Amino acid sequence: MPPFFVSAMNEFILDQRLADDCHELGMLELCKVLLMNNASVSWLILVPQCSATELTELNEADQAVLLAEINKIAGFLESIPAVEKLNIAALGNVVSQLHVHVIGRNSEDACWPDPVWGRLTEAPYDSADVRVMAIALAEQLGPDFLVNRNVIV
Amino acid sequence: MPPFFVSAMNEFILDQRLADDCHELGMLELCKVLLMNNASVSWLILVPQCSATELTELNEADQAVLLAEINKIAGFLESIPAVEKLNIAALGNVVSQLHVHVIGRNSEDACWPDPVWGRLTEAPYDSADVRVMAIALAEQLGPDFLVNRNVIV
């Protein structure tokens, strides 16, 4: 694990709005993996543990790790039968801390074909489903994924 | 230029909706560079010249090229004084051909802080402004960018 990561981890504080809106499922090498607490779509969020607000602030090596982690999360979502399409986006107009949405869409989901932001009514997960999602991620991603024990106990 | 690119170019047809909605400013190694024909935000679109509909369908090498091209376009947008924030997204719910939006946002723009999709009224560029944008891109990106002669003559 490169030194920058240890340093960034020590200082890293998840944005409060992301913490409030999501369940923290676990960590990959660079990113925290969050589950948006809305069960009407399969919506994961990667948050690089650093101080960046834009993708372009990451150096080339960190961008490559982020891209690899996007692929891992995208692959997980693509393994869910209901997921027909991915939406991948770094917006940050409301929450400035750099975060990447990786969302599984379905042509019959709650706001298809619109983007999800601001278009979904509340549909919180129950804790059992969050646990199932965290365990499924851990099983598919293997040792690359450090599951958040708080969601699986 | 790698062989895959020549092959993909020969077969590549830009989606008709993208062609209708955008001005084609030019090409990078992998992607066509489009300007969304709405002057209320600085909205560029990268279209990899291949048959993919999802980022995950690109192999690792092509993804790396795409990421580099996203950085080039993002850097160009960041050099525009009015641009305070980037929105970078691959959605594809309406147009399935893989394309990546790279959008310069401003906290006083027409739909801030909402995402742009479906939120803007018509605001077409005049041809002089399209030419200015294409020339500015060519000047900033140098020989990596092959400008579309149709927009600068």
Q: Across all residues in chain A, what is the average pLDDT?
A: 94
Q: What is the pLDDT of residues B24-64, one digit of tens each?
A: 999 999 999 999 999 999 999 999 999 999 999 999 999 99
pTM exceeds cut of 0.80: yes
Contact A34, A22 (CB under 8 A): yes
Residue B73 predicted with pLDDT over 60: yes
B78, B20, B83, B71: which is closest to B46 by C-alpha? B71
Measure CB to CB from residue A93 to each of B75, B93, B113 and give the nearest one.
B113
The CA radius of gyration of chain A, in Å to the nearest whole number, is: 15
Beta carbons of A54 and B113 less than 8 Å apart: no
ipTM for this prediction: 0.93
Q: What is the DSSP letter of A63?
A: H
Confidence of residue A3 (pLDDT cuts 50, 70, 90): very low
Confidence of residue A10 (pLDDT cuts 50, 70, 90): low
- DSSP string covering B4-36: HHHHHHHH----HHHHHHEEEEEE-SSEEEEEE
Q: Across all residues in chain B, what is the average pLDDT?
A: 94
- DSSP string covering B108-130: TSTTTTS-STTT----PPPHHHH
Confidence of residue A153 (pLDDT cuts 50, 70, 90): confident
pLDDT at B10: 57
Mutating which of B44, B76, B86 best tests the A interface, going by the most A Cβ atoms within 10 A? B86
CA distance B153 to chain A (A): 33
Question: Given this structure, which CATH class describes domain B3-152?
Answer: alpha beta
